[in-house]
Amino acid sequence: MTSASTTPPASTPEIICVGETMALVTPTGAPLADAHTATITLAGAESNVAAGLVAAGHRAAWASRLGADPLGTRISSELARRGIELWIDEDDDAPTGVMFKDPRPEGSSTHYYRRGSAASRMMPGLLPPERIAGARIVHTTGITPALSPDCTAMVDRLFADARAAGALMSFDVNDRRALWSMSDAAATLARLADAADIAFVGRDEAERIWGTATASEIRAFLPTCGLLVVKDGDVGATAFAGSDEPVFVAAPTVDVVEPVGAGDAFAAGFLSATLEDLPLADRLQAGHASAARVLRIAEDMPPLD
């Protein structure tokens, strides 16, 4: 049995982000197998983007499904504390997903417990068209359709409803190898990225999924995407808008503490500048600046003041 835990306000936020957020458990002072204590925070690409946009002064909502459990309560409380508007369905029969980080000297690994999670049961009715009306951007990532066939159908409906409402559809490829087969990922992610008004993809990620080696090859592979942003790590990012000449902006030099979350921060910065109608070069610069702030800390989101 499910129940809606939040009601959208009378007016619509500028941007609506849709996807799963999990509880993130990080052991303190030892690898996961040996640790006796741990911290619990959050992990979710779309909610990271929403948090970044709110921090930049925009009004953002996050739509998802959480278990009717303490971890779901913890997630919703933390996101609300950050000023994000929450449009959540609570699920009495499925749990909130959990992610464990395993820090080791040779590098951290992650372990996911999200199969059968409440978010994997998101369906096309999660976000009715009337909730989208008035929004300027709807954002999701390639993680969401990978969660289940119902989630794929929900994302397809999002694309259609966003277009019908006159909102821009933003899509970050954000491939997760553990969630689905290479063939399913390659086909679905290409279809969605090419249909998006704004799409983000890492150059190395695209090479792994589609075999495209350069930003120009990725553009040729996704010719109908309205605005394609290809990120190339510490080199920089290139934006392709229609048939215009591509715009490249180099990445700043950053002393990296933890790379996780930087891609979400880049998307938040770029989308913030998009909402402000800034030129493409300024949008890329805003993306780099936002990513740099997250690269310098261990968490996915900057701490609240």
Average pLDDT in the chain: 92
Residue tagged 């063939």 (tokens): 183
Q: What percent of the chain has pLDDT over 70?
A: 93
pLDDT beyond 90 at 69: yes
pLDDT at 270: 98
CA distance from start to end of the chain: 38
Which of 101-110, 225-234, 261-270 comes out lowest in average pLDDT?
Answer: 101-110
Work out the pLDDT band at 110, boundaries 50, 70, 90: confident
Q: How many helices (H) and strands (E) does the chain have?
A: 10, 14
φ/ψ (deg, to 5) at 177: -60, -35
Q: What is the pLDDT of residues 204-215, one digit of tens each?
A: 999 999 999 999
How far apart, in whole angstroms, are the C-alpha atoms of residue 23 and residue 12?
A: 27
- Provide the token pair at 283: 């949008």
Q: Strand order of the sheet with strand 168-172?
A: 2-4, 85-91, 60-67, 15-18, 137-141, 168-172, 198-202, 227-232, 236-241, 247-250
Contacts of 250 (CB under 8 A, 6+ apart): 235, 236
How far apart, in whole angstroms, are the C-alpha atoms of residue 44 and residue 176?
A: 13
Q: What is the pLDDT of residues 158-184, one digit of tens each?
A: 999 999 999 999 999 999 988 999 999
pLDDT at 1: 38
* Enclosing H/E stretch for 277: none
178 DSSP assignment: G
Average pLDDT of the residues in 227-244: 94
Residue tagged 């229609």 (tokens): 242
pLDDT beyond 60 at 3: no
How far apart, in whole angstroms, are the C-alpha atoms of residue 120 and residue 95?
A: 10
Q: Mapping DSSP to helix (H, G, I), strand (E, B) and coil, where does residue 213 land?
A: coil
Of 264, 277, 282, 305, which residue is the catalytic one? 264
Work out the pLDDT band at 300, boundaries 50, 70, 90: low
**Which domains does the chain show, CATH number per domain?**
2-295 (3.40.1190.20)
Q: What is the pLDDT of residues 287-298, one digit of tens each?
A: 999 998 887 776
Nearest to 265 by CA among 239, 301, 228: 301
How far apart, in whole angstroms, are the C-alpha atoms of residue 61 and residue 59?
A: 7
CA distances from 161 to 47, 245, 258 (A): 20, 30, 36
Residue tagged 């990271």 (tokens): 48
Give the number of other CB atoms < 10 A from CB of residue 33.
8
pLDDT at 108: 77
Contact 151, 64 (CB under 8 A): no
pLDDT at 294: 83
Average pLDDT of the residues in 21-46: 93
Whether 175 is catalytic is: no
pLDDT at 302: 61
Residue tagged 């959990």 (tokens): 98
Contact 141, 170 (CB under 8 A): no
